[in-house]
Amino acid sequence: MGQHCCSKQKVKRGLWSPEEDEKLIRHITTHGHTCWSSVPKLAGLHRCGKSCRLRWINYLRPDLKRGCFSEQEERTIIDLHRILGNRWAQIAKHLPGRTDNEVKNFWNSCIKKKLISQGFDPNTHNLLSRTTSTTHHQNNKKKANNYTSVFTIYETSLSSTKQVSMDMIKASLAALSTNSPHTNGVPEYQTSVSRLYESSVLTSTAYNYKNHVPTTTNIENSNLATCIDYKNQSTSNNLSSSSSCLTPTEFGIINENCMWAVTGFDPNNNGHEEMQLVHEQEGEQVQLQENICQEEVYKVNDHEFNKNGRIVENITYDDRPNFDFEFVDSALMMPCGIYTNVNSIDQRAWDC
DNA sequence: AACAGTAGCAACCGCCATGGG
DNA sequence: GCCCATGGCGGTTGCTACTGT
């Protein structure tokens, strides 16, 4: 369609002159833009309506914020991209004064490269595999292998923080399937999204698995709120209907993948071998044992990690009240409540 | 100074959804 | 139900300025 509207008539293309901008601004501010196709004629421009619309939206609108993106804006874009994928228009809605085109350009020119240089796959937000990271980013190898991205939830009502990883979210998503066999006969933990919307603040954190020191960047921007806000905008489902459950069985999955268990090693690529190698290179003895759950674990110092290279925490069901099911639930929740492919959550989570 | 390579960004392209006739 | 016009969006292109050699 875009091509048709311009090819039918002789229209100017390319960069806009100041005179053209002036004409368009004058017309829009006095008459508005009820129909973009009629704007060029009425404004005295030899452009197609689509081009006028784009020029206005991306450049001439008075409420646009020009200039560099702030650190907070950058953080917001990364976090929203992790959830929404390349939905630039949706991401831009959460950045006042920024356009989808601007966000997209900023992503492609800056953020993408920055994430890659830090060892992250900009598409999935997961760590690049060690091979890829080593091949393309020798200088950042150490950093890429030691850090991963996690969410920190700040519960304002409790004045405390809780942390979850993207792995954890994805793992929990699998467990949240309405077809899960684990839900039969097991108590469910119903949640309220609206309460979380009001009480939780979310940020991103880098976590050093060796020192066990999370490095929180900021807690200013509420991406959890953003997610839910997005849902309200894009679906007709109301909040009260969007609730789901977690079960004790599924908690086990969360446990294994929780923030403290994230090592930064590729779980799909025998992470334990890499983990083992690193520890042994540093003179630490690694022992193969069986833990309380009869799972094979590799023990080094006081920590255990499984065959996927994930550090295993001995959390039991008694710890359940300490874990924020509600956040994971709400963060993962889709109005339709159907999950089929864990790996594609970022792209599909908000499709319904 | 001249040229090549690169980065940033404005603008275009083409597809899709929607709504009116 | 079909066709068409239109708006919206994400991907891509191409121009310009900058940087390195």
User: How far apart are the C-alpha atoms of A326 and A322, rounded to whole Å?
Assistant: 11
Residue A283: band (very low, low, confident or very high) from pLDDT cuts 50, 70, 90: low
Residue A285 CA, chain-centre distance (Å), reads 37
Chain B footprint positions (protein CB, under 7 Å): 7-17
Any strand B atom closer than 7 Å to A6 CB = yes
A106 CB-to-strand B distance under 7 Å: yes
CA distances from A239 to A111, A197, A243, A295 (A): 33, 10, 8, 39
How confident is the model over A241-268, as pLDDT tens digits? 222 222 222 222 222 222 222 223 333 3
| Model pLDDT, residue A61 | 87
Whether residue A26 has pLDDT greater than 80? yes
Express each pLDDT in A222-232 by its tens digit. Answer: 333 222 222 23
Q: Which two tokens stand for residue A201?
A: 């603040």
Q: Name the closest residue (CA) to the C1' of nucleotide C13.
A: A14
Using C1' positions and the CA of A33, the closest nucleotide is: C7
What is the model's pLDDT at position A298? 57
Answer with the residue of higher pLDDT: A283 or A263: A283
Q: What is the mean pLDDT of residues A187-208?
A: 28
- Strand B atom within 7 Å of A109 CB: yes
Does the pLDDT of residue A90 top 70, yes or no? Answer: yes
A10: amino acid identity, one letter? K
Which amino acid is present at A295?
E
Tell me, what's the pLDDT at A117?
79
Winning range, highest mean pLDDT, from A64-73, A124-133, A309-318: A64-73
Cα–Cα distance, A305 to A41 (Å, whole number): 68
Closest nucleotide to A103: CA versus each C1': B9
Structure tokens at A10: 């002789």
Distance A5 CA to C5 C1' (A): 9
Question: Average pLDDT of A124-145?
Answer: 47
A130 sits within 7 Å of strand C by its CB: no
Average pLDDT of chain A is: 54
Proximity of residue A4 CB to strand C below 7 A = yes
CA-to-C1' distance for A341 and B15, Å?
Answer: 26
Straight-line distance from CA A234 to C1' B9, in Å?
A: 29
User: Which bases of chain C are under 7 A from a protein CB atom?
Assistant: 5-12, 15-16
Q: Which of residues 5-34 of A touch strand C (CB under 7 A)?
A: 5, 14-15, 33
- pLDDT at position A314 is 33
Residue A101 CA and nucleotide B18 C1' are separated, in Å, by: 23
Query: What is the share, in percent, of chain A residues with pLDDT greater than 90?
Result: 13
Distance CA A310, CA A266 (A): 9
Q: Does the CB of A244 sit below 7 A from strand C?
A: no
Report residues 32-71 of A contacting strand B, contact meaning Cβ closer than 7 Å: 47, 50-51, 54-55, 58-59
Q: Over 50: is that where the pLDDT of A151 sits? A: no
Residues A48, A60: Cα–Cα separation, whole Å: 16
A8 Cβ within 7 A of any nucleic strand B atom: no
CA distance A348 to A114: 25
Edge-to-edge order in the sheet of strand A213-216: A160-165, A147-155, A200-208, A213-216
pLDDT at position A37 is 87
For the cut 80, the answer to whether the pLDDT of residue A306 exceeds it is no
The mean pLDDT of A33-54, rounded to a whole number, is 89
Amino acid code (one letter) for A305? F
**Lowest-confidence region among A47-56, A284-293, A327-336:** A327-336
User: For A271 and C4, how far is CA from C1' in angstroms?
Assistant: 56
A101 touches strand C (CB under 7 A): yes
pLDDT value at residue A114: 85
pLDDT for A122 equals 83
| Reported confidence tier of residue A287, pLDDT bands at 50, 70, 90 | low
- The per-residue pLDDT for A277 is 58
pLDDT (average), residues A33-56: 89
CA A163 – CA A212 distance, rounded (Å): 13
| Confidence grade of residue A145 (pLDDT, cut at 50, 70, 90) | very low
A236 touches strand B (CB under 7 A): no
Whole-number distance in Å between A115 CA and C12 C1': 22
What's the CA A314/C1' B8 distance, rounded, in angstroms? Answer: 50
Q: Which residue is nearest to nucleotide B14 (CA to C1')?
A: A2
Q: What is the mean pLDDT of residues A179-198?
A: 28
Phi, psi of A245, deg, nearest 5: -140, 160
Average pLDDT score over residue span A311-325: 32
Q: Which two tokens stand for residue A127?
A: 């760590």
